[in-house]
Structure 1
């Protein structure tokens, strides 16, 4: 008996090729799925332990940060990297700093699902409105005073020349005077937009007396990622705090 052929090729051989192609297509889909899963897991780990994205919901940090800027936050601060004076930090509300917001109504499940997936990899930040961002002025043990005869703030008796502040035509860096010593485990923080920032000065009647517990700090903002024309790093102006003293 002769073997059945089609165009000079055996039927079993063609079946074998089709099966091989099917297996090859399945392997490609499987490998692609594995790569996607690994990428999502890696991004999730980076977002959880290293870097996190936030957007700026207000103008309290102008002109350093403006509303709707997107930033990346280094989450190694403060657990592995110590906070320094001048750092711009994101922190959870210590209590009473943010207005009580009504419970969010369920939205479009597809949109919310997409936002959730993007938040896993740090490309969305649905909880930005539950956090605040300010500049660290005083570390534990620092005495922070305002203002001297020139309208400057002082840390440990050293006047600060702050190039990052927005004063809206005022001379003094604060419209209210204060004289505080930062307790252990806490920070004194202020917005760069000094006449439009409800910061440590305005929360001294709250449960933490205006101080931010270091345990509430999510991380240090280090770069603006969006919009592209504002891309750039965020410094902590170490020269401003020269001579203040190490803690």
Structure 2
């Protein structure tokens, strides 16, 4: 009988270990957590820069649709290749002293300030208005029904605008005691108005009075200062809604 161990059919020889092969090591839990938080932070910054950002309504100027301190979401891809369109509600940087100190302050807490930097909390220093005129447009106020017209086409704004005791939809210039005209809107700029027409420091508020000869005010907003288009009223949750462009702007002809 042989004393040498030999493999049999029932007990195959074991394969020799491959040199250099090691078990994959996993990061400690705390390191994985830091890594995941870092990835989430980078994604948040990218999303804020390119896609969606949160803001809040700083005043009563967009009532009745948007109320002070409402939380809104702004999307940016719509303006990657084309500028704002008539009827859009847009968020833009303060063109220069359009905001009061309180409205421009933004979040005050440390956590809120940090989250606002990455788009996870509404930031301040911005205004929210509706685009009434774009490049080349002429805006006039008002016809015998108190309506604003753009390129000769009256706007039916009963759906979204509030008169607030005024008798026309453009009271901030003459308090409806006279007519006014703005435009043609310069290249690369827009004319904006708040929906609360008698309580909005908008383009009509910052324009020169009719027949003024030494006025140097600029009522327009640079398109480059526009952050994006408001597309969702996010909070309060009981008023959540997707925001659309009013149909009345579809009837406005292109600038002549």
Same fold flag (TM > 0.5): yes
Any conservation in 1 of the 2:48–2:118 contact (CA below 8 Å)? yes
Q: State yes or no: 1:218 paired with 2:215.
A: no
Q: Partners in 1 of 2:114 and 2:95 — Cα distance? A: 28
What SS is found at the alignment partner of 1:54?
Answer: strand
Deviations 1:3-32 (A, max 9, x none): xxxxxxxxxxxxxxxxx9xx86x5333223
Which of 72-81 and 228-237 deviates more?
72-81
Any conservation in 1 of the 2:71–2:122 contact (CA below 8 Å)? no
Deviations 1:154-208 (A, max 9, x none): 0110111011101134431122332121111111100000011111111014865
Deviations 1:20-63 (A, max 9, x none): 9xx86x53332232222111110111012211111111100001
Q: Pick from 194, 198, 207: which aligns with 2:197?
A: 194
Partner residue, 2:161 = 165
Partner residue, 2:135 = 140
Partner residue, 1:240 = 248
Deviation at 1:139, TM superposition (A): 0.6
User: In 2 relative to 1, CA 40–222 (structure 1 residues): closer, same or farther, beyond 3 Å?
Assistant: same
What SS is found at the alignment partner of 2:61?
Answer: coil
Partner residue, 1:174 = 170
Q: Partners in 2 of 1:63 and 1:120 — Cα distance? A: 29
Q: Partners in 1 of 2:201 and 2:53 — Cα distance? A: 24
TM-score (norm 2): 0.76
Deviations 1:71-104 (A, max 9, x none): 1111234333431100001111212322467x98
Root-mean-square deviation (CA, aligned residues, Å) is 2.4
Deviations 1:96-125 (A, max 9, x none): 322467x98xx7xxx41x223312432223
User: In 2 relative to 1, CA 170–202 (structure 1 residues): closer, same or farther, beyond 3 Å?
Assistant: closer
Any conservation in 1 of the 2:83–2:223 contact (CA below 8 Å)? no
Q: Partners in 2 of 1:152 and 1:196 — Cα distance? A: 17
Please identify which structure carries the higher helix content: 1
Q: Partners in 2 of 1:118 and 1:201 — Cα distance? A: 34
Q: Partners in 2 of 1:195 and 1:43 — Cα distance? A: 38
User: In 2 relative to 1, CA 186–32 (structure 1 residues): closer, same or farther, beyond 3 Å?
Assistant: same
Greater Cα radius of gyration, structure 1 or 2: 2
| Structure 2 counterparts to residues 1-247 of structure 1, below 5 A | 27-99=28-100, 111-112=109-110, 114-126=111-123, 128=124, 130-162=125-157, 163-175=159-171, 176=174, 177-181=179-183, 182-205=185-208, 209-237=218-246, 239-246=247-254
The unaligned stretches of length 5 or more in structure 1 are 1-19
